[in-house]
Structure 1
């Protein structure tokens, strides 16, 4: 007897799913802005912004405080964050083993730039595992929370969005994937995840939450064949 899968493509976010980088980027952004505005007010503005592009976070804070930032402010912040990530970032525990254990084509859909994602794949040992491709913010007109990067991954793979399963850590990314019509697993195991994140993702419509990447293969297997019919060999 053969089971029929209703999932044809696995798509993973990068930051916070493959590598534990969000906490580094957030730290660099905060340090740069804290030199210009009161820290306690800044923290209020930064709350809930993880998953957004660094440029959008900085723009939001600058608008709130009426800052006239120099044109090189964001490039310098991004460059500094990338330098620290390259030197310090840790991979998410178990992610390499988990993704190699899953028998589905794999794509990466990220709000980061292509070069940063490529480095993350090298660091995690997943370059060869990503057989569909890397879909980054610089390849679409609208980054997450717009669905564009996820829809591009699905169309490139020739897979209906409803037959895609996504692993995301942020509300921004989950919103993008859900808007694209995809099923989402919320990953809560990265170091930057706040205690309320699980509830936030559930309110968005994410039904399945995961704290440990070692459990991903079993969850993907269960979701692939959930409510599927069995056919004869």
Structure 2
């Protein structure tokens, strides 16, 4: 398989920053408080990588009644508090990205304020600015391909030459729909062996858990040396935002 990567598109939550467990904890607490009991594990499985608007639509359909008008505000406030105290960069992210030989950008389901805070708090923003794209810039969020196609267009790279690093089924599905090569990252604290299986089933071409392995994977893709068996291997070991 000869991909010749010319752009790496990173999801943010659970890929660059270890935030999925934080966000899911806040969502589970407030959604349960609103009348739909859900655990942190269920929130991760069902809503990781899914835009908040879609999550609220799904929950309202299950409840059969509108959610509280301030639910989004309550979740966001709780997430921001936890970000300021608990949020950290995924181990090895900054060092690896600084050495990448191909351009990169961020395409996230997070809203601009939360996305900007996450990257700034972990001191990753300077690696990508101004190439940081929020799903609010497009019509449909993941698992639709819109945000990845938007990012590729803005970066001037054809989808076939884009590699997407994602930790969610919604993100992998969106990358495939965009005609891009998805890699599944399972190095976040929210990931379990079942997470690996879900990403494989969704179509991730390679699963990895250490950022330090990314450069070698990209080189293998460029050389066409990643065969089908290897792709299924187990894991190894703000201008645009505000627009």
TM-score (norm 1): 0.87
Specify whether residues 69 and 131 from structure 1 end up closer, same or farther in structure 2 by C-alpha distance, changes over 3 A only: closer
CA distance in 2, matches of 1:5, 1:21: 30
Specify whether residues 132 and 68 from structure 1 end up closer, same or farther in structure 2 by C-alpha distance, changes over 3 A only: closer
Aligned residue in 2 for 1:137: 135
Structure 1 residue 208, shift from structure 2 partner: 0.3
Specify whether residues 140 and 86 from structure 1 end up closer, same or farther in structure 2 by C-alpha distance, changes over 3 A only: farther
Aligned residue in 1 for 2:25: 27
Structure 1 residue 38, shift from structure 2 partner: 6.5
Structure 1 residue 45, shift from structure 2 partner: 6.4
Aligned residue in 2 for 1:15: 13
Aligned residue in 2 for 1:209: 207
Mapped contact 1:55–1:74 kept (Cα < 8 A): no
User: How many residues align structurally?
Assistant: 223
Structure 1 residue 166, shift from structure 2 partner: 0.9
Aligned residue in 2 for 1:187: 185
1:62 is aligned to 2:63: no
CA RMSD of aligned residues (A): 2.3
Q: Secondary structure at the match of 2:165?
A: strand
- Name which one, 1 or 2, has greater alpha-carbon Rg: 1
Aligned residue in 1 for 2:49: 51
TM-score (norm 2): 0.83
Residue by residue over 1:157-204, the C-alpha shift from the partner in whole angstroms, topping out at 9 and shown as x without a partner, is 111100001100000111111110000110001011232122211222
Structure 2 unmatched runs, 5+: 226-243
Structure 1 residue 36, shift from structure 2 partner: 4.0
Structure 1 residue 223, shift from structure 2 partner: 1.5
- Whose helix fraction is larger, Structure 1's or Structure 2's? 2
CA distance in 2, matches of 1:117, 1:222: 31
Structure 1 unmatched runs, 5+: 228-233
CA distance in 1, matches of 2:146, 2:126: 24
